[in-house]
């Protein structure tokens, strides 16, 4: 537990740690006022039941005399006013502490979620290859809240209640040491025993609940993201059933954790009530104190009224921390193990490819893969050339382009941009690239904002938006068929657009940046042949000013390319233009025949 406490303070930013210290300082002040309030009860009750104590009690007599009182009732009114004033001050302090705590904890959530997302965004592309992005999203949005509400908040509460308990018990020890120590031993021992018995159980529930919650989140995401094929296949019941099973298991785990945290309170309250009654009877019957015991009973009653919730809060916070430890471990591990910082915001600095791209003996193997994906590849792409990589699925086309883009790092060999190592030229190089993937991500926003993706609304150049849309052959559709034109909202993932329209929006997005290198990764695969030809003609016109790199399955897409590289099993087996490869390369002819078969349906 101490290790987790240290980790909890490490996970917070320095400014948030200082805020925790402020809350603890305020808690000490509130606890002192709490003890003063409890301590003020005994003399008030004593005077209320026996006004003659002014003469017999040296402390009350000293106060009565020094303050110049002559009427016992006036002095009693003063004591009542002190009790009420302390109670009001206590409540004001607690209200302020609650407000400040809520503010700080909300800021902690904001800072932690932002920091975790920033950490993820600072990772290289390879980090995401073996990660479930839904899981990462859940860590940022949900698990960070669990860390704050389930670990940081309870730790602050734990320390606050420890201070309160210590000061109340110290007061009771001053009044009756043996009774106070016996009470502390009985109540504290009971809670420690229950916690030690429940500790392992809570740890197991924590792990199980996180697994159930993760699976539930994943099922909901998959079902709603793939709603079209799910409806067509009629498998909604299967997803709903799996979700219900995991949701029920999650609910049961949460219920068990809540029960373990709450049930001991009622046992302790019963023990405390029996103990107080026995103590009162003992003082009256054995010690013969009669009504003179009332101030002491009132003191213990009021102290118990404050102490029991504090002890229960201590126990509750300990169990809460243990119950949420699995979520904390994940977030802490990612923040501790992952390094790096966000690169500065990139803008196209006017980089133009002068001589070309050169790969020399490049090889690459994905982590945990049994064999390399790219094997000893050497090639040259000249500036202002249009080149294509073709090959069967799994040949290594996309991986090779990812290496050229600087998204992956080579295991062997080197990549040079205009004679410079790719690593040295990477910022300018990547800023100059317009990339069009096979599957276009579109946000639930306007056409204009999707084309100028990632650009602040106030900085969008609408002339460039229209120019890019015209080149991608989507401008006429936007202005003639959409009522709001470029302000039309396209729905989540562009659900209100056809597949071809989504692809052309993606091409327009790449062209908006005025790239000097345009990379199309199966970018026209969703287009019909006629539309594809129109778009490819427009792209080829750009080749006089751009270096164009295409990845394609259909060989018809690459007919006008200056150079075509044929890949098989991670190696370049042939290269040349379309005509030369059609005559000399058996692999290329096989791909061409396969493309024709897919187009004609035979």
Q: Scan for tokens 């657009």, then name that residue.
A: 497
Which residues in the chain land under pLDDT 50?
Answer: 597-602
Q: Residue 600's pLDDT is what?
A: 44
The domain limits of the chain are 2-197+258-337, 350-432+549-602
Distance CA 381, CA 376 (A): 16
What DSSP character marks residue 446? B
Whether the Cβ atoms of residue 433 and residue 519 lie closer than 8 Å to each other = yes
Gap between the Cα atoms of 513 and 509, Å rounded: 7
Q: What pLDDT is recorded for position 348? A: 58
Query: How far, in Å, CA of 226 to CA of 230, rounded?
Result: 6
Q: How far is CA 176 from CA 299, 519, 592, in A?
A: 11, 82, 96
Tokens of 123: 């990772």
What pLDDT, on the 0 to 100 scale, is given for residue 274?
Answer: 72
CB 424 within 8 A of CB 597: no
DSSP label at 489? Answer: B
Q: Which residues pair with 550 in a beta bridge?
A: 388, 520
| 377: alpha, beta or left? (left if phi > 0; alpha if psi -120 to 50) | beta
Look at the block and give the residue holding tokens 């003659």. Answer: 52
| Measured distance CA(180)–CA(432) in Å, rounded | 75
- For residue 418, the cross-strand partners are none
Correct CATH for 2-197+258-337 of 3.40.109.10, 1.10.3480.10, 3.40.50.10680, 1.20.1560.10: 1.20.1560.10
Q: Are 169 and 180 in contact (CB under 8 A)?
A: yes
Measured CA to CA, the distance from residue 500 to residue 439 in angstroms comes to 11
CB–CB of 517/353 below 8 Å?
yes
Strand bridging mode 563-568 / 571-576: antiparallel
- In the numeric block, which tokens belong to residue 501? 């329209």
**CATH architecture assigned to 350-432+549-602:** 3-Layer(aba) Sandwich (3.40)
pLDDT value, residue 546: 85
């Amino acid at each position: 537990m101490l290790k987790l406490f240290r980790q909890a303070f490490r996970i917070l930013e320095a400014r948030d740690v200082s805020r925790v210290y402020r809350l603890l300082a305020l808690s000490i002040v509130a606890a002192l006022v709490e003890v003063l309030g409890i301590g003020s009860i005994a003399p008030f009750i004593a005077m209320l039941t026996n006004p003659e104590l002014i003469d017999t009690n040296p402390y009350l007599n000293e106060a009565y005399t020094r303050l110049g009182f002559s009427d016992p009732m006036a002095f009693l009114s003063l004591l009542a006013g002190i009790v009420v004033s302390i109670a009001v001050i206590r409540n004001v302090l607690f209200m302020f502490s609650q407000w400040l705590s809520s503010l700080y904890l909300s800021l902690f959530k904001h800072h932690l979620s932002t920091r975790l997302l920033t950490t993820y965004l600072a990772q290289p592309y390879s980090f995401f290859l073996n990660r479930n992005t839904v899981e990462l999203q859940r860590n940022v949005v949900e698990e960070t809240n669990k860390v704050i509400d389930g670990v940081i908040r309870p730790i602050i509460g734990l320390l606050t209640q420890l201070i309160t308990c210590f000061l109340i018990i110290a007061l009771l020890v001053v009044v009756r040491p043996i009774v106070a120590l016996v009470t502390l031993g009985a109540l504290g021992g009971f809670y420690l025993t229950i916690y030690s018995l429940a500790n392992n159980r809570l740890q197991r529930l924590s792990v199980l609940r996180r697994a159930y919650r993760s699976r539930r989140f994943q099922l909901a995401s998959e079902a709603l993201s793939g709603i079209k094929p799910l409806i067509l296949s009629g498998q909604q019941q299967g997803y709903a059933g799996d979700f219900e099973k995991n949701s029920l298991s999650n609910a049961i785990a949460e219920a068990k954790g809540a029960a373990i945290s709450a049930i001991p309170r009622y046992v302790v309250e019963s023990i405390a009530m029996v103990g107080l009654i026995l103590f009162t009877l003992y003082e009256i019957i054995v010690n013969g104190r009669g009504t003179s015991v009332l101030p002491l009973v009132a003191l213990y009653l009021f102290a118990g009224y404050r102490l029991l919730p504090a002890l229960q809060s201590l126990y509750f916070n300990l169990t809460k921390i243990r119950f949420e430890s699995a979520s904390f471990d994940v977030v802490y591990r990612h923040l501790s193990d992952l390094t790096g910082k966000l690169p500065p915001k990139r803008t196209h600095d006017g980089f133009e490819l002068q001589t070309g791209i050169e790969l020399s003996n490049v090889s690459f193997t994905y982590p945990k893969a049994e064999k390399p994906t790219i094997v000893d590849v050497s090639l040259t792409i000249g500036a202002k050339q249009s080149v294509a990589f073709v090959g069967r699925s799994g040949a290594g086309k996309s991986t090779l382009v990812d290496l050229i883009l600087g998204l992956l790092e080579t295991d062997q060999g080197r990549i040079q941009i205009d004679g410079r190592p790719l690593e040295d030229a990477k910022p300018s190089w990547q800023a100059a690239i317009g990339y069009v993937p096979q599957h276009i991500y579109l946000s639930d926003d306007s056409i204009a904002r999707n084309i100028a993706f990632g650009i602040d609304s106030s900085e969008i150049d609408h002339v460039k938006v229209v120019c890019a849309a015209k080149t991608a052959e989507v401008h006429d559709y936007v202005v003639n068929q959409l009522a709001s034109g470029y302000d039309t909202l396209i729905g989540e993932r562009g659900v209100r657009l056809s597949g071809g329209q989504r692809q052309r929006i993606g091409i327009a997005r790449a062209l908006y940046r005025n790239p000097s290198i345009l990379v199309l990764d199966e970018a026209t695969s969703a287009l019909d042949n006629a539309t594809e030809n129109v778009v490819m003609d427009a792209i080829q016109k750009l080749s006089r000013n751009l270096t164009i790199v295409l990845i394609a399955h259909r060989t018809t897409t690459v007919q006008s390319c200056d150079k075509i590289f044929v890949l098989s099993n991670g190696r370049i087996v042939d290269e040349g233009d379309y005509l030369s490869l059609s005559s000399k390369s058996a692999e290329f002819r096989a791909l061409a025949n396969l493309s024709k078969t897919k187009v004609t349906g035979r």
